[in-house]
Amino acid sequence: MNDDLKTTVVTAGDRGFAWGVLLLVASMRRNGMKHPVVVGAMDWTPEMKKRVSALGNVTIRELPTTRRCLACQKPMLMSCDDVKTDWVCWADGDGAFVGDCSEWLTGDSPDEIVIRKYKQIAPDFTPENLEIWRRDVERFQGEARESSRYGTRVNTAFIVAHRKIFPFLRRWQDQVMKVLPPDVGIIMKHGSAYFQTDESVLASLLCFYPSAPAIAESYKANATADRSRYFAHLAYNPKPWRMWNKYSMRWYDIIMDIVDWLLAEKIVAPSELPLSLRRSWRPFFRACAGAAPWIWRATKLKRRIFK
Ligand SMILES: [Mn+2]
């Protein structure tokens, strides 16, 4: 196997995230990253599956319809048998590679998990919640450390792991199924022990499971190592394929460059693009970027009331 392609990139999305996944995989191909890709797809239209497959070396894994947030299937997808390489990289479907990020897709040591640590924020990283993590790790995984190994949370938008760590990823999956409610959304009630669902569960294991892999010292996939090669996480709602918010607007030119490439490659026809991904609509979406989160919330509420 080509030495550059030691890693499979894994991502997932429901129907509402399919455009995000298309942009993510297109950003790889656009930047010369030919790595195999596995996509967990829930309720996608045949057209979206066709478009993503047209990017080449993509395996689509159909996921059964569920109300449980798809992020809860990250560990299962990362360690599934469609991943044939030694390394695996999870990349959130609401992300894009800026530049050729091949170098960030493997770690320095197969025993470490590459993941971004970030500061604990009260009220989520409280002694009470840590005790719940410790107790749950002990209860469901059989053993737990007395005290936390780390004083940090982790961000699961981008993870790199070696195949050696797959058994640990399966523990993560197992723990997700045991501690999260079956209809969990992306974010639970603020302040609860598993506030950030799959992310909190992984943190609980890294902090308390005795033989959890160490977290790699350096994390290079954000722009700290190289400002021209990084993974852009299009956080916050609404996502750019629906509306632009003030945070995502900074990547407008980068995302639109990918859109132009998709059009040039004839993977997408201009008339098929969501309005927010059409250049002619830029003034409109730019003008409402500040209000977009509110418009988004109101639309969701309307859907809940009038469904
Ligand atoms: Mn995300």
Q: What is the pLDDT of residues 154-173, one digit of tens each?
A: 999 999 999 999 999 999 99
Ligand 1 center to 71 CA (angstroms): 9
Angle between the N-to-C axes of helices 18-30 and 252-264, in degrees from 0 to 180, rounded to the nearest 10: 80
Q: Give residue 303's pLDDT.
A: 77
Q: How far apart are CA 196 and CA 238, in angstroms?
A: 18
Distance, CA 128 to ligand 1 centroid (Å)?
27
CA of 143 to the centre of ligand 1 (A): 31
Question: How are beta strands 153-162 and 87-91 bridged, if at all?
Answer: antiparallel
C-alpha 302 – ligand 1 centre gap (Å): 24
Q: Distance from the CA of 40 to the center of ligand 1, in angstroms?
A: 15
171, 169, 152: which is closest to 87 by C-alpha? Answer: 169
Ligand 1 centre from 94 Cα, in Å?
5
> What's the CA-to-centroid distance between 232 and ligand 1, angstroms?
10
Domain boundaries, the chain: 3-215, 237-305
How far is residue 55's CA from residue 37's CA, in Å, rounded to a whole number? 10
Ligand 1 centroid – CA 213 distance (Å): 23
What's the CATH number for 3-215?
3.90.550.10
Q: How far is the CA of 258 from the centre of ligand 1 (A)?
A: 18
Cα–Cα distance measured from residue 184 to residue 191, given in angstroms and rounded to the nearest whole number: 15
pLDDT of amino acid 192: 83
CA of 1 to the centre of ligand 1 (A): 30
- Are the beta carbons of 136 and 178 closer than 8 angstroms? yes
If you measure from the C-alpha of residue 253 to the centroid of ligand 1, how many angstroms do you get, rounded to a whole number? 20
Single out the residue of 233, 216, 239, 258 nearest to residue 33, CA to CA: 258
CA of 300 to the centre of ligand 1 (A): 18
- In the predicted model, residues of the chain with pLDDT beneath 50 are 1
Q: Quote the pLDDT of residue 265.
A: 98
Q: Say how many residues make up the chain.
A: 307
